[in-house]
Chain A
C-alpha cells in the first residue's frame, strides 16, 4: 500500500553537505507492524519525517495506494516524541485536532475522540491538561490523537524513548493491545532491539548514517504475545545485535 521508492536525503549547509539517507526502498504491507531499527542519529527519524511529508526527499518518491504523494496527507498520522502534545489543550482537545482542522462538527468529532480516549485507557482524563499527566499518559494522548484522525498509516517516532523502563514495557504492551483492537499500518522507529523484536511483524535494520537498509527480518513466525525470554526471541535478538554496528563516539 505504501511504497518508498529510492528515497535519498542530503542536507545542504554552509559547513558542508551531510548525507542522511542513501537510497532506501521499502514496500509497506497493509495493517502490518513495521519497525525501523537503527543506531542513534542514523537518519531513521528523517526517513519517517519524509514519509510524513514534513521533510522533502532529495530524490525518490513516496507512493500511497499507487499514487505519488508530496507533503502531508490525511491518510498518514504521526505519534511524536513526548513534546508533541499541545500543553494548552486538554486531552480531549488534543485528540480531536485532526478532525477539527478537517472541519468535522464538534459533536461528531468529540464522539470519535472519546472512543479513542477510551481505547487508550484515558477515560476520565478528557479535561486534564498535559502538565497534570505523566509521560506515559501524554503518549497515550498522542496515540489517541493519531487514531482519531482516522489514518491508514500511523507513524511513530521513538514514542517511548523518553519513558522510564517500566513505563516503556507497559506502553509496548498497550500499543500492541490497541493495534490488535484497531488494526492499522504502523511504522515504528526505535533504537531499542528488544522493543523492535517485541513489536514488529517485520524489522528493518538501518545502517549508520547515511542510512540504508542493512537487513530485513520477518518475525511473522514469532507468535504473539511474545515472551522476551523465549529461545526464539533471544535468537533473533542476538542475530540483530550481531549485525548492529557498534560505534562509540
Chain B
C-alpha cells in the first residue's frame, strides 16, 4: 500500500509545466499590451500603462490629496477589514446557528431573506441620516455588503453536511457539542471560506460607495477625486491599487485556508 500523490504536475509533459508557470505572466503581459495599444490608438481617452506607472511612482514618493499613498491604502484596508472581521465574528456563528437550530432558523431566516436582496449601497441615505457622514457610516455600509454572503455560506455549509456524518457521530457517541465542533464545523469550513472570499470581493466594491460619503482619504476617494478633477491617471492608479491589494488579500485567504484545513493540502 502507498499513499496517493497529487498528479497535477507529475502526469504532464514539459509543455504543460511551462504554461503552468509562464501562462499567467503571459496573460498579464498581453493585457498590458492591449491596454497600451488602445491608449496609443487615441480613439478613447486612456493614459498608457507607462504613464500610469510614472504617476504611481510620483504618488508613492510624495503626497496625494494631502497624504502619502500608504495612508490612503491603509485607511481603505482598515475599513474593509473592520467590516470583514465584524462580519466573520458575528456572521459565521449566526449562519451556523441558523443551519444548526431549527427554531433559530424559523425565527431569523425570513427577516434575513428580506434584507438580503437590498443592495448594500441602498443603505447610504439611511445611514448618513442616522450616523452622519463619518467613519462609522462607511464601515457600516461595507458591513452590509460583507455580512450577507458570510452568513448565507455558513448557513448552507451546515445545511449541506451529509447525513452520514451525523450518523457516524451518533453511533460513536458524539454529544451535541462534539457534533457541532467536531463534525458540523469542519464539514462546513469549505463553504464558510467560500463565503469570506465572496464577501471580500464585495467589500472592495462597496468601499468605493462608502468613500463617496464625505471621505477625504482612501483608495475609493482617490478614484472619485480623479473623476471629478478630470485626472484619469489618478483613477487608474486607484484601480490598480484595489486590484493589487484585493488579489493580495485573496491569496492571503487561500494561505489561511490551507493552514486551517490541512486535510485539503494535496
Interface of A toward B, CB cutoff 8 Å: 49, 52-54, 72, 74, 76-78, 80-81, 83-84, 86-90, 97-98, 100-102, 121, 125, 128-134, 137, 145, 149
Q: Which residues of B contact A132 (CB under 8 A)?
A: 3-4
Given the known interface contacts A80-B164, A88-B187, the answer about A97 and B4 at a Cβ–Cβ threshold of 8 Å is no
Distance in angstroms between the alpha carbons of A87 and B162 in the assembled complex:
12
**Chain B residues touching A, range:** 20 to 34
Of B1, B183, B186, most buried by chain A (CB within 10 Å of CB) is: B1
B33: shortest Cβ distance to chain A, in Å? 41
Within 8 Å of chain A (Cβ to Cβ): is B171? yes
Distance in angstroms between the alpha carbons of A245 and B257 in the assembled complex:
52
Q: Which residues of B contact A100 (CB under 8 A)?
A: 178
One digit per residue, 1 when the CB lies within 8 angstroms of any chain A CB and 0 when it does not, for chain B 1-25 equals 1011000000000000000000000
Distance in angstroms between the alpha carbons of A149 and B186 in the assembled complex:
22
Distance in angstroms between the alpha carbons of A72 and B166 in the assembled complex:
12
Contact present for B172 and A98 (CB under 8 Å):
yes
Q: Which residues of B contact A83 (CB under 8 A)?
A: 162, 164
Contact present for B178 and A101 (CB under 8 Å):
yes
Given the known interface contacts A54-B171, A98-B172, the answer about A133 and B162 at a Cβ–Cβ threshold of 8 Å is no
Of B165, B171, B264, most buried by chain A (CB within 10 Å of CB) is: B171
Within 8 Å of chain A (Cβ to Cβ): is B43? no
Given the known interface contacts A88-B263, A101-B173, A129-B262, the answer about A80 and B168 at a Cβ–Cβ threshold of 8 Å is yes
Of B169, B170, B262, most buried by chain A (CB within 10 Å of CB) is: B170
Q: Which residue of B lies closest to A142 (CB)?
A: B168
B2: shortest Cβ distance to chain A, in Å? 9
Contact present for B1 and A84 (CB under 8 Å):
no
Give which listed residue, A78, A128, A129, contacts B171 with CB less than 8 A: A78
Q: Which residues of B contact A131 (CB under 8 A)?
A: 4, 263-264, 266
What's the count of A-B pairs with C-beta under 8 Å?
75
Within 8 Å of chain A (Cβ to Cβ): is B37? no
B contact patch SS = helix
Q: Which residues of B contact A129 (CB under 8 A)?
A: 262-263
Within 8 Å of chain A (Cβ to Cβ): is B261? yes
Within 8 Å of chain A (Cβ to Cβ): is B167? yes
Contact present for A84 and B263 (CB under 8 Å):
no
Within 8 Å of chain A (Cβ to Cβ): is B73? no
Interface of B toward A, CB cutoff 8 Å: 1, 3-4, 162, 164-165, 167-175, 178, 182-183, 186-187, 189, 261-264, 266
Q: Which residues of B contact A49 (CB under 8 A)?
A: 167
Contact present for A133 and B263 (CB under 8 Å):
no
Q: Which residue of A lies closest to B185 (CB)?
A: A88
Contact present for B165 and A86 (CB under 8 Å):
yes
Given the known interface contacts A84-B164, A134-B1, A137-B1, the answer about A89 and B263 at a Cβ–Cβ threshold of 8 Å is yes
Distance in angstroms between the alpha carbons of A233 and B144 in the assembled complex:
70
Contact present for B171 and A52 (CB under 8 Å):
yes
Distance in angstroms between the alpha carbons of A48 and B162 in the assembled complex:
19
Listed by A's residue number, 27 A-B pairs whose Cβ atoms lie within 8 Å are A52-B167, A52-B171, A54-B167, A72-B171, A72-B173, A76-B171, A77-B171, A77-B172, A78-B171, A81-B164, A84-B164, A86-B165, A86-B183, A86-B186, A88-B261, A89-B263, A97-B169, A97-B172, A97-B182, A100-B178, A101-B173, A121-B1, A131-B266, A132-B3, A133-B4, A134-B1, A137-B1
Q: Which residues of A contact B164 (CB under 8 A)?
A: 80-81, 83-84
A199: shortest Cβ distance to chain B, in Å? 21
Q: Which residues of A contact B165 (CB under 8 A)?
A: 86
Q: Which residues of A contact B173 (CB under 8 A)?
A: 72, 74, 98, 101-102, 149
Q: Which residues of A contact B175 (CB under 8 A)?
A: 101
Q: Which residue of A lies closest to B4 (CB)?
A: A132
Distance in angstroms between the alpha carbons of A133 and B165 in the assembled complex:
18
Distance in angstroms between the alpha carbons of A238 and B162 in the assembled complex:
39
Of A97, A98, A100, most buried by chain B (CB within 10 Å of CB) is: A97
Distance in angstroms between the alpha carbons of A100 and B174 in the assembled complex:
9
